[in-house]
Structure 1
Amino acid sequence: MELWMCLLLAGCALLSLGATQPLAINYTTDILRLAKAAHIKAYLSEDEQKPCDNFYNYVCGNWPRLHPARIKNKKTNYLEELQELFVRKSADMLKTARPGGDSSADRLLKSFFTSCYNQANDTQSALRTLLQVTDFRGGWPEIRVPSWYYYEYDWLQVIATIKRRLGIDIIIGLDVILDYKEEHMHRLKIGAPQLPLGHRRQYLDASYHLTRLRYQRSIAEKLQRYFPEQSQRWYEEVSDQVVDLEQQLAKGLPHNAALTLEQTTRQRTAAEMKAAYGSYVDVSRYLQMIFNDTMYVDLYETPEDYLSNLVDVIRLTPKMQLANYTIWRTLDTLDQARVPQNVQPGIWCVQMVRDHFPQQLESLFHRNYNNMQMINDLQSTWSDIKRVFREQLQASTDLHWMTLETRQRAIAKLDAIELQFRNHDETQLIRQTHGLRLHPDQFYPNLANVLQWRTQRQLAKLVEEPQLMDQVYKVPHYELTNNKMQIPITFLQARFFWDPAYPNAIKYGTLGVLLARQMLHGFDDVGRHYDRHGYRNNWWDPISEGSYSRRSQCFQEQYAIFEDFHGKPVHDKGLISRIVADNGALDIAYRAYVEWLKNTDETSTLYQREQLPLLDNTHNQLFYMAYAQLYCSDYPESVEMFDELPEQIRVNTALSNSEHFVNAFSCSRSDKLNARFKCALY
């Protein structure tokens, strides 16, 4: 990796020589190609790994050593490297003023970043802010004295006030979500909050006893940091109360953590919930205190058993314990803004800015790092991907399982898909932050103001029409409800995926695959229910539906053996659509690359350019290497289950269905990645 960084820096320096020096340009191209080759080679397995036995290990075998998950205690992967590059650039951007001047929204971001950088670890400021924005009648831990207003304590009013002022869900979870039955409106969701340990089993299963013990100790350690004058007994007493209450709350969570929102939700009115849970958990009153109005809308209650269990929890839990838990959860939320150990303050504070102002930060980044060449290359690759898929739909042999009528409708939908480069109206962003006041030397008061601002905006969505731009994606994303391909600005960073100096095999193996994969989500078992205008409308005929179902069964059987990975369960809720997209995108992107080669003068110079120094691989092999390295990953040992198919399974199984891959690496019939029966849809 050090070699690659040195080569890349050398290449960047040479770029500054200018276009008037052809020799320098040629030398720069050579340096960039050498740097890319060193980058690819750095991740290759150091063992004698055969490509046709385990291609993922062949190209990503060295990733865990270079990017170990155990250090960060979270998953590392290649695509996340792009986000880290964005964060580093943003840190530099937020420290300096723009030459053309900053907007009011830009100044807010920079004030928030500066205050975070200087004061995020000021525990006393966090504590003062907590006591200023919440009413705990004399503070904490003084709440333990006999004069505490036990009979007056109204737990529901306290948590409603904290929700309204800071957006923190304590004991009751409340959110405004996109209605999963009617995607053009919002709905209130009420029920369980997100508990720190996660699912029911972490709180109640005996096998997680040590996890709960570590959690309780971490609470005591945080309390000691904020209240060093208190006794060890007090730390232990409060931390024990916190864990005990969360264990009682967890009894209302589903036994099966893999259940979807639809499977654990029922639709009810606030009046119905009032009748069901009475004054112990008065949902009508809770909503009235938050919205300052009586709510007559239907709500989604999820999970179904949580609030009925909460009635028993409130009835049996001492008010002192409820009060201690409430103030602890508020303090812990503020404490999570502290800079973690082994993390640079600048990097952490960019993440804080991104969490709270994602659209504003994207806009500022776009104005500082606009890359038109990357946009042009992406549009060109997208045109090639669409053309190849269109040719497949037009041919009577390639997708013969579709009827002619359905293929014609698919072509109409494909032609209507447009690239949408995620951009923002700066005037609108300024309007959104109007009235928000932040100071560069008051981080925790800033954080409290930002949390209140965000909460008000989130709750206001209930009466607003959903906006697709509310979602922030890191890679291209296909939007079903408007039939557009959304391209994040942060994705358009030069020399990460693509540069004119690189072989086109790399462009099609990375950009091409990512675009094709998202495109195919418009033509899978979910996408077929949305037409070219983005409306719910099943445009497939029964014959095509039946053929799709039979062919997708091949994939289900092929992937069914991976119910666990390294002894840990795999619960991929979008399994089939992901599999179809993975397998189809690989084939479509490779065909696009082959067509590009055919339409270019096939000379020895071209094929030489389509290879890289340091790597003894053909241009076809380089395509698959670039593709597979997109998914290089490492998981921490603490992961308990996989929410998606692990990358090793995704890469190897998709390649085993590809005859082009088998030919590129001359795999024999006995090799693991040469499936005897190859599954195919697109």
Structure 2
Amino acid sequence: MKLLLTTCLLASLTLSWSATHPYPYVNTFERDILRLAKAAHIKAYMSEGEPQPCDNFYNFACGNWPRLHPSKLYNKRTNYLDELQELFVRKSADMLKAATSNSDSSADRLIKNFYNTCNAEANNTSSALSTLLEVTDFRGGWPEIRVPSWYSYEYDWLLVVANLKRKLGVDILIGLEVVPDYKEGHLHRLKVGAPKLPLGHRRQYMDAAYYGTRVRYERNIAEKLHNYFPDQSDLWCNEVASQILEIEQQLAKGLPHNAALTMEQTTRERTPFELKAAYGSFVDVSRYLRQIFNDTLYADLYETPEDYLSNLMDVIRTTPKLHLANYTIWRALDTFDQARIPSGVQPSIWCVQMVRKYFPQQLENLFHRNYNNMQMINELQSTWTDIRRVFREDLQASPNLHWLSLDTRQKAINKLDKLELKFRTHDESELIRQLYGLRVNEGHFYPNLVNVLQWSTKRQLAKLVEEPQLTDKVYKLPHYELETNKMQIPITFLQARFFWDSNYPQALKFGTLGVLLARQMLHGFDDVGRRYDRNGYRNNWWDSTSETSFAERAQCFQEQYAVFVQFQEKPVTDKGLQSRVVADNGALSIAYRAYIQWLNNSPESGIDYRGERLPLLDHTPHQLFFLAYGQLYCNDYPDTLEAFDEIPEQLRVNTALSNSEKFIEAFSCPVGAKLNARFKCQMF
């Protein structure tokens, strides 16, 4: 335990020191401290038990992670890459706390005001409730709360939910969203149908296996109602909570039985008038849209899922209006309640997440100006050059890619040569323009939240007449964009001393940044990426021989991973399995070979590679590479997890390593070891 505490303390030095010293110009003493801290950081996660690297490398590298970052504290998965996001959040909190200065733009001042009022008032229950009741018209008020008597004929549910959508952006009973047209990617289209229900899919509301989940959900609603309305009886709180769950269970009957179906598989095109004819006055979609857009819409829209609105018609017809009123107003109140700071979460951290939710680009811009690190940009570019060079050499002459025809190889080289890194940058004048008309004052949080919700909703709905922009999406990891043939690098990746620093061994850089870049690169050359050419246009540039050979090799991976239909007694339902495992295995191979090329050409070539070793760790440079790779995937899952949407990290790491001859050589894995697979799969 003493060793663990010491290593954790040393590990924390890396992050705290880099926050105050973003540039890596250090003396020899500081260099030794940084290397010691990084070694302690790595060692802290490694298992203190018996697993051997050749039997279970994931446990060898990450065995202590669940003790240091237990998921049960947060009731959600914890993983190593989220540490990078947490570092970004902590630095952002420091920025937003700082007093405004003359150098701050109007966008900077706005998000700082929003952050500071969140810090001060996000847990003010009375302010949340009074603000909600002031800015919304519930047509008679909340029964039992604002008026002593309530008349059902006064309640127009469709008008109420339309106004709440327009003012607060909340989808109640009817879901409405502007989405890219999946047939014509340069257009947006309205999608109308099911809202996102709090418990998720149909099975959570209907299956007996989730009875306990529903009981906890209903109890949680009753507790929140009592918190907002302490003068109301427990009976009233419990009755309203029961009504809310009952309505959502009825709504869930209109959701698909198979939650894995895509939007295209559950969608049909309809005009507003066709919907009017189908559902009449019970669910008058034309009137609903007219209330929101203040205009009559004629364009085709997507109805999804197909059975939801017809089921909603039955729900409206059979549910007492009093219950609908209670449900409608509860969903509005719950929108405000979700802005409250959760128990156990630091207000400063939570409020950064609130800023990031509504102003991601403005926060990124402020962060980039405060923590701009040109060395990290240069290192990413340098690492990318090394990764691309190795793959290009493979395409030119490697016998490992003999399964690709010469013509297809040349087209792949042409596409690779045009593939570039794209660092997220923002036009500050455009960011300021986006905030035009939005008022965020230094006063109370919840009035500010209402202004932000109205502004955000208006911006989202206005996209209906705009062309889809790839920059609308913010990714936490490097992401390959099929439509542009570029790789988007998030701002968070430009933080020094997380993946790599000039004082660390290069093995760590190639085992982390190198792997992540190579993995995304390969998505441009797999069974999906081959359908997009070097300019990002839909154009299948593979010949039939190469396609057949790819399918044959992919079958090896499918058979190898087919046993992973369950892990820790929970199902694995990874819909992107093939693409993921092909990229995992190929990226590991390419990144390692890029590292070996660097090692062979390094100034230390021919001696003992002292710079490629770390104190506290008795590992060769080659072993350090695989250790860095394995710890990329350290994680812990909560007991409440129902299924693995992606193949669990332990299986990803161990299986990819079992296909790597270089890993087996680095750790001298004997024949028969669990990670020395007899039959090895290979694609790239």
Answer whether contact 1:114 1:441 (CA < 8 A) is retained.
Answer: no
Which is worse superposed, 82-91 or 660-669?
A: 660-669
- The whole-number CA distance in structure 1 between the counterparts of 2:18 and 2:178 is 52
Matched residue SS, 1:478: strand
1:10 Cα shift? 6.3
> In the alignment, does 2:357 pair up with 1:355?
yes
Question: What residue is the counterpart of 2:72 in the other structure?
Answer: 70
For the residue of structure 1 that corresponds to 2:176, the secondary structure is: strand
CA contact (8 A) 2:100 2:109 kept: no
CA 1:489/1:445 → structure 2, altered by over 3 Å: closer, same or farther?
same
Contact 2:140–2:154 (CA<8 Å) still a contact in 1? no
In 2: Cα distance, 1:369 partner to 1:2 partner: 30
The equivalent residue for 1:332 is 334
Out of 564-573 and 221-230, give the one that drifted further. Answer: 564-573
Contact 2:511–2:592 (Cα < 8 Å) also in 1? yes
CA contact (8 A) 1:14 1:28 kept: no
SS in 1 for 2:104: coil
Q: Are the equivalent residues in 2 in contact too, given 1:119–1:441 (CA < 8 A)? A: no
- Check 1:472–1:36 CA distance in 2 against 1; reply closer, same or farther (3 A cut): same
| Equivalent position SS for 2:88 | helix
State the one-letter code of the partner of 2:567: F
Deviations 1:225-276 (A, max 9, x none): 1111111111111111100000100111111222222222222222222222
Determine the C-alpha separation between the residues in 2 that align with 1:98 and 1:585. 44
The question of whether the paired residues in 2 share the 8 Å contact of 1:15 and 1:28 is answered with no
Q: Distance in 1 between matches of 2:20 and 2:353?
A: 31
Partner of 2:371: 369
Match of 1:3 in 2: 6
- Name the residue aligned to 2:41: 39
Alignment of structure 1 residues 9-88 onto 2, 5 Å = 25-88=27-90
Does 1:608 pair with 2:619?
no
Between the aligned partners of 1:107 and 1:422, the Cα distance in structure 2 is 22
Q: Is the 8 A contact 2:47 2:64 kept in 1?
A: yes
Identify the residue that residue 320 of structure 2 maps to in structure 1.
318
CA-CA distance at 1:116 after TM superposition: 0.3
Shift of 1:561: 0.7
What is the DSSP-based 3-state SS (H/G/I as helix, E as strand, rest coil) of the residue aligned with 1:190?
A: strand
Residues 6 and 568 from structure 1, CA distance in 2 versus in 1: closer, same or farther, beyond 3 angstroms?
closer
* CA distance in structure 2 between the partners assigned to 1:14 and 1:171 by the alignment: 48
**Match runs of 1:106-121 below 5 Å:** 106-121=108-123
Which runs of structure 2 are paired with 1:193-342 in the superposition (5 Å)?
193-342=195-344
Offset of 1:147 from its aligned partner?
Answer: 4.1
Does structure 2 retain, via aligned residues, the 8 Å contact 1:224–1:235?
yes
1:425-457 CA distances to partner (integer Å, 9 max, x unpaired)? 110000000110011221001111101111111
**Aligned-partner residue type, residue 382 of structure 1:** W
Q: Which amino acid aligns with 1:652?
A: N
Question: What secondary structure does 2:154 align onto?
Answer: coil
Q: CA deviation at 1:396?
A: 5.2
Aligned mates of 1:627, 1:318 — CA distance in 2: 58
Q: What amino acid sits opposite 1:489 in the alignment?
A: I
Tell me, in whole angstroms, the C-alpha distance in 2 between the residues paired with 1:397 and 1:153. 73
Distance in 2 of aligned mates of 1:399 and 1:113: 53
Deviation per residue, 1:461-486 (Å, 9 max, x gap): 11111111110111111111111111
Deviation at 1:15, TM superposition (A): 12
Distance 1:120 1:98, change over 3 A: closer
> Relative to structure 1, is the Cα distance of residues 13 and 641 closer, same or farther in structure 2, using a 3 angstrom cutoff?
closer
Corresponding residue SS for 1:151: helix
- Quick check: 1:400 aligned with 2:402? yes
Residue 485 of structure 1 pairs with residue 484 of structure 2? no
Aligned partners of 1:189, 1:340: CA distance in 2, in Å? 32
* Preserved CA contact (<8 Å) 1:118 1:441: no
**Using the alignment, how far apart are the partners of 1:39 and 1:562 within structure 2?**
31
Residue of 583, 592, 595 corresponding to 1:593? 595
Contact map agreement 1:516 1:589 (CA 8 A) in 2: yes
Distance 1:39 1:294, change over 3 A: same
Unaligned runs of 5+ in 1: none
1:54–1:673 contact (8 Å) kept in structure 2: yes
Contact between 1:401 and 1:547, CA under 8 Å: does it hold in 2? yes
Aligned twin of 1:152: 154
What is the CA-CA distance between 1:184 and the residue it aligns to? 2.2
10-19 or 614-623, larger mean C-alpha shift: 10-19
What secondary structure is seen at the aligned counterpart in 2 of 1:142? coil
* Matching of residues 89-100 of structure 1 within 5 Å: 89-97=91-99
The residue type paired with residue 571 of structure 1 is T
- Counterpart residue number, 2:631: 629
Judge conservation of contact 1:34–1:613 (CA < 8 Å) in 2: yes
Structure 1 partner of 2:640: 638
Provide Cα deviations, 1:320-341, integer angstroms capped at 9, x if missing partner.
1111100000001101111111
CA distance in 1, matches of 2:22, 2:631: 32
Q: Are 2:573 and 1:571 aligned?
A: yes
- Structure 2 vs 1, CA of residues 204 and 17 (structure 1 numbering), >3 Å: closer, same or farther? closer
Q: Which residue in 2 is equivalent to 1:426?
A: 428
SS in structure 1 at match of 2:401: coil
Contact between 1:15 and 1:25, CA under 8 Å: does it hold in 2?
no
SS of 1:398's equivalent in the other structure is helix
Counterpart contact for 2:515–2:629, Cα < 8 Å: yes
Measure the CA separation in 1 of the matches of 2:348 and 2:316: 43
Q: How does 1:543-554 map to 2 (within 5 A)?
A: 543-554=545-556
C-alpha deviations, 1:147-186, integer Å up to 9, x for none? 4231132111110110011100001111111222322222
**Does the alignment pair 1:127 with 2:109?**
no
How many Å separate the matches in 1 of 2:33 and 2:145?
66
Closer, same or farther in 2 for the Cα pair 1:131/1:144, shift >3 Å? closer
Distance of 1:220 and 1:89 partners within structure 2: 37
CA offset at residue 143 of structure 1? 6.2
Q: In structure 2, what residue type is equivalent to 1:115?
A: T
Deviates more, 1:287-296 or 1:406-415: 287-296
Which residue number in structure 2 is paired with residue 464 of structure 1? 466
The Cα RMSD (Å) is 2.0
Decide whether the 8 Å contact of 1:179 with 1:187 is kept in 2. Answer: yes
Equivalent pair of 2:166/2:454 in contact (CA under 8 Å): yes
Residue in structure 2 matched with residue 440 of structure 1 by the alignment: 442
Q: Distance in 1 between matches of 2:391 and 2:201?
A: 42
Cα 1:15–1:582 shift into 2, 3 Å: closer
Q: Would the aligned equivalents of 2:197 and 2:248 in 1 still touch at CA under 8 Å?
A: yes
2:232 and 2:148 map into 1 onto residues whose CA distance is 17
Question: Matches of 2:326 and 2:123 in 1, distance apart?
Answer: 23
Letter in 1 for 2:168: L
Q: Which residue of 2 aligns with 1:389?
A: 391
Counterpart of 1:499 in structure 2 is: 501
CA distance in 1: counterparts of 2:312 and 2:624, whole angstroms: 57
Alpha-carbon separation, structure 2, partners of 1:257 and 1:485: 30
> TM-score under structure 2 normalisation?
0.96
The 2-side partners of 1:61 and 1:484 are apart by 36
Distance 1:137 1:606 in 2: 79
Give the Å deviation of 1:5. Answer: 5.7
Output the amino acid matched with 2:106.
Answer: S
Task: Report if aligned partners of 2:51, 2:59 keep a CA contact under 8 Å in 1.
Answer: yes
Distance 1:100 1:368, change over 3 A: farther
Q: Residues of 2 paired with 1:16 and 1:235: CA distance? A: 50
Q: Which runs of 5+ in 2 are unaligned?
A: none
The one-character-per-residue Cα deviations of 1:341-376 (angstroms, maximum 9, x if unpaired) are 111111110011111100100000000000011111
